[in-house]
Amino acid sequence: MTRFSAWSVFKNGLTGQKGWSRQWRDPEPKPHYDVVIVGGGLHGLATAYYLAANHGVKNIAVLEKGWLGGGNAGRNTTIVRSNYFRPGNREFYEHSLKLWENLSHELNYNVMFSQRSHISLLHSPGAIDAAARNYNILRRTGTPDAEIWDLATLKRAVPHLNYSPTSRFPIMGAAVQKRAGTARHDAVAWGYARGADKHGVDILQQCEVQGITREGDSVSAVETSRGTIRAGKVAFAVAGNTSRLWTMAGLGKLPIESHKLQAFVSEPLKPLLDQVVVFGIGGAHFYISQSDKGGMVFGGDLDWYKSYAQRGNLPIVQDTAEAAMSILPCLGRVKLLRHWSGLVDMSMDGTHFLCKTPLSNLYLNAGWNYGGFKATPASGWYFADLIANDRPHEKIRNFDLKRFERGLQIDERGAGPDPKLHG
């Protein structure tokens, strides 16, 4: 595999681009692996990479039922931020953001991480006070780039929002995280896959898990569409379909519901929006950024009912379009290029699970709600640590399945145990 550098780009430019090789192998499954990771999405690939790179684990397989980047990796709005407030989430997402900042160098692969600022619009003096409290917490706990902007500052940065004082929710200011931004979703999958492959990880695509073979309180093998694979340790990283695998392993219920979340991209436009802008008040929930190709990438709420269908429904298209028009009326004549729906694990408190399970050699990575993309590097980092050392790192000890039994809910939104409300 060729290492990317300015020199290799220059040399291949002069020699007809003939010097590039495959970025990762397409191996046949071996009968046994020390670690089998189910799910070749961003979290599964990141886990494989850090298991090999940080912990020196050899003989790893990543099982993907479709193709890399075809699930939620390609069905999100690529926003990265760390402005979480609850203890545990604070440190976790800040660690993730620090990993994002060095990810292109770490992987020798340009993930196009663009720290363009994340701007949450505020619409009342009360909202500004609440945001100031939260952002003071951020500034005092290791996230120095949290700022509250008044209206004049916001207007200078984003002049074309709807600032009408007679709109239903007039804009009064904004809570801003300046190191937040976006990354190229495919490149993250490909970069981690390439990095993992370089360390000898077998990435098995078109390899669907159809059964889990148990020996007492441990997993001995996974039955796949490409044959039986015996495993020393098994890790689930299949957000959206976690409950299906959990049932295959005979483990009963989970504090998770599967919902679908839609996202949209418009036709490409000239540069219009330099930041991620978020509009959320009352019934509205809307986030938008512009991709490097010029498409406006945006999304809103879940479809509100439980579903395993990877297709969206029309009332949400209308709601999201209305929210878009209320803050960016200049988008009125822009055509939608495509829209899609991803299957997300909505957990009971809006926070994820990175933990051991009732089976001794089975590990769980699940329940990412809306937040899976930004969490990718830290999720892989801590999940690899958990699998390699067979104990949760201090930083993830409350991301276990038993926290509700202890009376702990890590509920950023304060919405209570109703999965669909943790948007």
Judged by the rule CB under 8 A, the positions of this chain that interact with another protein are: 241, 243-244, 252-258, 304-309, 313-315, 348, 404-405, 417-420
The SS3 assignment for 300 reads strand
Task: Name, in order, each residue with C-beta under 8 angstroms of 116's C-beta and a sequence gap of 6 or more.
Answer: 180, 181, 182, 274, 275, 276, 289
Nearer to another protein, 19 or 315 (CB): 315
Task: Report d(CA 43, CA 236) in Å as an integer.
Answer: 10
Task: Report d(CA 376, CA 284) in Å as an integer.
Answer: 27
Nearer to another protein, 303 or 385 (CB): 303
Nearer to another protein, 20 or 308 (CB): 308
User: Smallest distance, Å, CB 244 to another protein?
Assistant: 6
Nearer to another protein, 169 or 246 (CB): 246
User: Smallest distance, Å, CB 16 to another protein?
Assistant: 48
- Candidates 137, 167, 161; CA nearest to 278 is 161
Q: What is the DSSP-derived secondary structure letter of residue 197? A: H
User: Smallest distance, Å, CB 348 to another protein?
Assistant: 5
Nearer to another protein, 224 or 409 (CB): 409
The Cα diameter of the chain in Å comes to 67
Hey, what's the torsion of the CAs at 41, 366, 60, 53, to 10 degrees? Answer: 80
User: Smallest distance, Å, CB 356 to another protein?
Assistant: 18
Helical spans, DSSP H, in 334-399: 372-389
Residue 78, both tokens: 């690529």
User: Smallest distance, Å, CB 184 to another protein?
Assistant: 31
Nearer to another protein, 71 or 295 (CB): 71
Task: Report d(CA 27, CA 351) in Å as an integer.
Answer: 35
Hey, what's the torsion of the CAs at 214, 220, 222, 226, to 10 degrees? Answer: -140
Task: Report d(CA 417, CA 350) in Å as an integer.
Answer: 9
Helical spans, DSSP H, in 102-184: 103-107, 125-140, 151-157
User: Smallest distance, Å, CB 402 to another protein?
Assistant: 10
* DSSP string over 288-330: EEE-TTSEEEEEEEE-SS----S---HHHHHHHHHHHHHH-GG
Nearer to another protein, 232 or 417 (CB): 417
User: Smallest distance, Å, CB 247 to another protein?
Assistant: 8
Nearer to another protein, 87 or 315 (CB): 315
Decide if 395 contacts 95 (C-beta within 8 A). yes
User: Smallest distance, Å, CB 383 to another protein?
Assistant: 21
Task: Name, in order, each residue with C-beta under 8 angstroms of 75's C-beta and a sequence gap of 6 or more.
Answer: 261, 263, 310, 340, 341, 342
User: Smallest distance, Å, CB 168 to another protein?
Assistant: 20
User: Smallest distance, Å, CB 131 to another protein?
Assistant: 29
Nearer to another protein, 215 or 418 (CB): 418
Q: Which amino acid is at 377?
A: P
Nearer to another protein, 253 or 333 (CB): 253
Task: Report d(CA 77, CA 70) in Å as an integer.
Answer: 14
- Candidates 273, 319, 279; CA nearest to 171 is 279
